[in-house]
Amino acid sequence: MYAVIATGGKQYRVEPGQTLTVEKLAGEVDDTVELRPVMIVDDEGAVTAGTDIGERAVTATITGHGKGEKIRVFTYKNKSRQHKRRGHRQHQTTIKIDSI
- Name the phi and psi angles at 75, rounded to 5: -120, 150
For 92, half-sphere exposure in the C-beta direction (CA atoms, 13 angstrom radius) is 13
pLDDT score for 97: 93
pLDDT band at 47 (very low <50, low <70, confident <90, very high): confident
Provide the pLDDT confidence category of residue 90 given band limits of 50, 70 and 90. Answer: very high
The pLDDT assigned to 52 comes to 64
Mean pLDDT on 29-53: 83
Give dist(CA 22, CA 92) in Å, integer. 6
In which element (H, E) is residue 64 found?
strand 58-67
SS3 label, residue 51? helix
Provide the whole-model pTM. Answer: 0.77
